[in-house]
């Protein structure tokens, strides 16, 4: 074990190396590129014994990953934004063919206008593809989630996407506890996975599913991702035993006695924490929730922490134009529908295309959340920092 | 090398009872391809007639491992399989050893899949890519592709007051493949099974990427009697419209000699898709055959 300063991107690359992946197929795109560059370097230097496929597109990257995973190889890819969107139809195939692919998606805005900076539109547009989705808050989490992802993906036969915020996390150096490679191997042994493309089996894969069968075949994804909740918790517990750190499906800050809560995803939660600290000093009982596991959505964990809050704010960093609410807001409101309490929820949007969400922005959000709590009435979505 | 029909393996890897049209020559071609492979292959197929007709759950016609993902990515899927096998063998995680083969249509190869194909050929994966070419998107109801020949009628290149049918000429797929510096590429047709099967063997045995471009006449899309598929394939070869040749490590060689060519008219008049064309178009198509004859060394037209 050693302490090193690494960027989020390099943390992922080191985790992939320590996982001893067999095949990498990936295509460069900002801000993900340093991951594939680092992995190419590991392979070139003989530090990672893997086939690195320099595919000609993200569509082919994920297609090759499916072929590889079904042949029994531990398989990794990484992308961002347009690259993820380009993979769209293949994302469905990766989950429905029950692969164990692990992907790092370094979150970036989608065109147009072209924008290389951070928001969550890319992954939010892929909510329904049947992948497990993790969202990390720190470089350490990026590393740890990548290691955990291989174990989960290989146990439940579903692909896992790790989301880390472009630049804010991908390009920022933080101190990382880098475990010994042997410990990682103990956690995820380097072993061949099930080869479903063997001439010994002669399976037919990727069939036509007529109406009499398609429905049941698709339902298997619902079943698998629901059952994955247990594996995710168990893998996290085992990880804790070996590495001394665990993560919940959500992470909470000052929620024990909070009256007013803000829900976020990704790295902005560290700015939000600073604001929570300062408001707490002023006597405001505010708290913060950050969603780590977005798919499967941790409904029960969330209901539990909402026990005593008076109002909630949800910060979305992606849009659902013309919808009833933006993606995270909709999930939270739906979650609350099943709880016994009626809690007003205020929708916020912020930080699109790399626009900073400042400390003052968070203060303003907490003030509005409190007003909503006192009046019991929420306002239409508030677009934080939007110039009229 | 297979010399006569008697040398061919008796094993069948494409089960009877698939849902291809009666008279479809794709089934014939795939039967020959798989026989030549000896069965130790993983096959990738793009979305196409072949795919939907052989994998309709809960039935399958495939007696070898087979996978279909989408329309445009069969070369990439094959690249992933080949790389995985290579990595696992190198790392001592597997002792399996099989060939990887793609069998995809002309749409999945010439059009939407050409990027993935180019990538796979350029990277040098050890795989055999077979394009079966029925000269249109048949699965979706006979729309033109960039493999549809000049003047042919399809539902998206219909003849009309201002249209002679397909305006453009077929891409040179073997030429495109060879431009990637691959060791082996060839044309074939199931009307010449020995030739086709020897080319499959060569493609599999050569190290690195290889490509086979197989003409598969389509009774439904070309509009000819279902009994005529093999005959029409033969006429394609004998007219010089479909020369059977190979490019083996830079050396181009005609593999089926045509000492006396048939006029293209004989080929065209059997097919409904050319029913609308005039002498002018027939002459243009004859010119294509004449050019091929010159390029590949075919004989003169029969008197
Ligand atoms: C991305 C995408 N676009 C379009 C289609 C619809 N589609 C399925 S098969 C096909 C045509 C296949 O043509 P070809 O490759 O020539 O094979 P054939 O059916 O003629 O044997 C089309 C257009 C699809 N499945 N996926
Ligand atoms: Mg076709």
Tens digits of per-residue pLDDT, B133-168?
999 999 999 999 999 999 999 999 999 999 999 999
Question: A346 and A328 in one domain?
Answer: yes
Cα-to-centroid distance, B145 and ligand 2 (Å): 7
Contacts of B20 in chain A (CB under 8 A): none
When pLDDT is averaged across residues B191-196 and rounded to a whole number, the result is 98
- Cα distances from B25 to residues A16, A149, B51, B146, in angstroms, run 47, 46, 14, 20
The answer to whether the Cβ–Cβ distance between B55 and A204 falls below 8 Å is: yes
Measured between CB atoms, which of B75, B76, B93 is closest to A192?
A: B93
Question: A364 and A321 in one domain?
Answer: yes
Question: A216 and A267 in one domain?
Answer: no
Mutate to test the pocket of ligand 1, among B72, B107, B130, B148 (most ligand atoms within 8 A of CB): B107
* Count of domains forming chain A: 2
When pLDDT is averaged across residues B234-249 and rounded to a whole number, the result is 98
Q: Is the pLDDT of residue B249 over 90?
A: yes
Question: A128 and A15 in one domain?
Answer: yes
Number of CB atoms found within 10 A of residue A375's CB:
11
The answer to whether the Cβ–Cβ distance between A208 and B55 falls below 8 Å is: yes
Question: A283 and A213 in one domain?
Answer: no
Cα-to-centroid distance, B216 and ligand 2 (Å): 9
Which CATH number covers residue A326?
3.40.50.920
Looking at the CA of residue B72, tell me the nearest atom of ligand 1.
Answer: 1
Q: What is the pLDDT along chain A (388 residues), one digit of tens a residue?
A: 999 999 999 999 999 999 999 999 999 999 999 999 999 999 999 999 999 999 999 999 999 999 999 999 999 999 999 999 999 999 999 999 999 999 999 999 999 999 999 999 999 999 999 999 999 999 999 999 999 999 999 999 999 999 999 999 999 999 999 999 999 999 999 999 999 999 999 999 999 999 999 999 999 999 999 999 999 999 999 999 999 999 999 999 999 999 999 999 999 999 999 999 999 999 999 999 999 999 999 999 999 998 889 999 999 999 999 999 999 999 999 999 988 888 999 999 999 999 999 999 999 999 999 999 999 999 999 999 999 8
Question: A160 and A108 in one domain?
Answer: yes
Sign of the Cα pseudo-torsion (A231, A237, A243, A245, in order)? positive
The answer to whether the Cβ–Cβ distance between A56 and B122 falls below 8 Å is: yes
In a domain, residue A340? The reply is yes
Measured between CB atoms, which of A65, A203, A213 is closest to B80?
A: A65
**What are the domain boundaries of chain B?**
9-296
CB A368 within 8 A of CB A334: no
Question: A125 and A75 in one domain?
Answer: yes
Among candidates A71, A79, A93, which has minimal Cα distance to A22? A71
Cα-to-centroid distance, B112 and ligand 1 (Å): 9
- For tokens 């900073």, name the residue: A356
Q: Is the pLDDT of residue B222 over 90?
A: yes
Does the beta carbon of B73 lie inside 6 Å of ligand 1?
no
Question: A212 and A265 in one domain?
Answer: no
Which CATH number covers residue A10?
3.40.50.970
Measured between CB atoms, which of B69, B76, B122 is closest to A206?
A: B69
Q: Which CATH superfamily is domain B9-296 in?
A: Thiamin diphosphate (ThDP)-binding fold, Pyr/PP domains (3.40.50.970)
Does the beta carbon of B139 lie inside 6 Å of ligand 1?
yes
Question: A233 and A119 in one domain?
Answer: yes
Question: A75 and A25 in one domain?
Answer: yes
In a domain, residue A369? The reply is yes
Q: Which of A206, A221, A243 is the last residue of a domain?
A: A243
Backbone angles phi, psi at B144, to 5 degrees: -65, 155
In a domain, residue A388? The reply is no
SS3 of B213-253:
EEECCCHHHHCCCHHHHHHHHHHHHHHCCCCCEEEECCEEE
When pLDDT is averaged across residues B10-36 and rounded to a whole number, the result is 97
Cα distance from B152 to chain A (closest Cα, Å)?
30
Number of CB atoms found within 10 A of residue A75's CB:
36
Domain of residue A316, residue span: 250-383
Question: A201 and A65 in one domain?
Answer: yes
Q: What is the pLDDT of residue A341?
A: 81
User: DSSP letter at A29?
Assistant: -
Q: Which two tokens stand for residue B167?
A: 């305006």
How buried is residue A315: exposed, middle or buried, by Cβ count under 10 Å (0-12/13-18/19+)?
Answer: buried
Question: A235 and A187 in one domain?
Answer: yes
Cα-to-centroid distance, B139 and ligand 1 (Å): 6
The answer to whether the Cβ–Cβ distance between B77 and A51 falls below 8 Å is: no
């Amino acid at each position: 074990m050693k302490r090193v300063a690494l960027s989020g991107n390099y943390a992922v690359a080191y985790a992939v190396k320590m996982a001893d992946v067999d095949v990498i197929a990936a295509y460069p795109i900002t801000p993900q590129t340093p991951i594939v560059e680092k992995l190419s370097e590991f392979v070139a230097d003989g530090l990672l014994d893997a086939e690195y496929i320099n595919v000609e597109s993200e569509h082919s990257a994920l297609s090759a990953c499916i072929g590889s995973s079904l042949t029994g190889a531990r398989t990794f890819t990484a992308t961002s934004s347009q690259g993820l969107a380009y993979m769209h139809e293949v994302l469905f195939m990766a989950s429905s063919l029950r692969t164990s692919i692990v992907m790092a998606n370094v979150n970036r805005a989608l065109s147009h206008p072209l924008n290389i900076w951070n928001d969550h539109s890319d992954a939010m547009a892929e909510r329904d593809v049947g992948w497990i989705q993790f969202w990390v808050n720190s470089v350490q989490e990026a590393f740890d989630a990548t290691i955990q992802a291989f174990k989960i993906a290989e146990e439940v036969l579903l692909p896992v996407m790790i989301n880390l915020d472009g630049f804010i996390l991908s390009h920022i150096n933080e101190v990382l506890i880098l475990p010994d490679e042997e410990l990682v191997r103990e956690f995820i042994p380097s072993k061949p996975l099930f080869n479903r493309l063997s001439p010994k089996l002669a399976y037919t894969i990727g069939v036509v599913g007529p109406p009499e069968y398609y429905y049941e075949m698709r339902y298997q994804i619902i079943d698998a991702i629901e059952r994955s909740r247990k594996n995710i918790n168990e893998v996290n517990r085992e990880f804790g035993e070996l590495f001394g750190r665990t993560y919940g499906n959500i992470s909470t800050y000052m929620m024990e006695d909070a009256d007013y809560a803000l829900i976020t995803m990704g790295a902005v939660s560290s700015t939000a924490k600073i604001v929570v600290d300062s408001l707490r000093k002023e006597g405001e009982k505010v708290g913060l929730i950050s969603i780590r596991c977005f798919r499967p959505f941790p409904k029960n964990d969330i209901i539990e922490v909402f026990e005593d809050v008076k109002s909630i704010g949800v910060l979305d960093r992606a849009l659902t134009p013309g919808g009833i609410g933006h993606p995270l807001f909709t999930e939270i409101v739906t979650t609350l529908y099943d709880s016994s309490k009626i809690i007003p929820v205020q929708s916020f949007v912020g930080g699109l295309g790399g626009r900073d969400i400042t400390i003052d922005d968070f203060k303003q959000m907490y003030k509005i959340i409190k007003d909503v709590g006192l009046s019991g009435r929420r306002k239409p979505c508030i677009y934080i920092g939007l110039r009229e | 090398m297979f010399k006569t029909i008697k040398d061919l393996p008796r094993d069948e890897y494409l089960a009877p009872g698939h849902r291809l049209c009666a008279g479809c020559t794709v089934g014939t071609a795939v039967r020959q391809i798989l026989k030549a492979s000896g069965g130790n292959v993983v096959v990738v197929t793009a979305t196409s007639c072949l795919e939907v007709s052989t994998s309709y759950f809960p039935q399958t016609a495939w007696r070898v491992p087979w996978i279909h993902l989408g329309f445009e990515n069969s070369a990439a899927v094959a690249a992933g399989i080949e790389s995985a096998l290579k990595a696992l063998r190198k790392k001592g995680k597997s002792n399996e050893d099989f060939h990887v083969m793609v069998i995809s249509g002309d749409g999945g190869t010439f059009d939407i899949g050409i990027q993935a194909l180019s990538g796979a050929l350029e990277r040098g994966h050890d795989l055999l890519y077979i394009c079966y070419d029925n000269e249109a998107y048949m699965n979706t109801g006979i729309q033109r592709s960039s493999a549809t020949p000049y003047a042919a009628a399809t539902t998206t290149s219909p003849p009309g007051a201002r249209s002679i049918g397909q305006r453009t000429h077929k891409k040179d797929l073997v030429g495109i493949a060879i431009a990637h510096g691959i060791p082996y590429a060839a044309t074939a047709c199931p009307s010449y099974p020995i030739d086709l099967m020897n080319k499959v063997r060569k493609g599999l045995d050569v190290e690195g990427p290889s490509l086979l471009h197989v003409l598969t006449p389509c009774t439904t899309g070309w509009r000819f009697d279902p009994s005529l598929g093999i005959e029409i394939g033969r006429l394609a070869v004998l007219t010089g419209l479909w020369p059977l040749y190979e490019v083996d490590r830079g050396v181009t060689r005609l593999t089926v000699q045509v000492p006396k060519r048939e006029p293209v008219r004989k080929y065209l008049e059997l097919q409904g898709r050319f029913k609308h064309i005039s002498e002018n178009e027939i002459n243009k198509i004859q010119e294509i055959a004449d050019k091929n004859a010159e390029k590949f060394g075919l004989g003169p037209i029969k008197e």
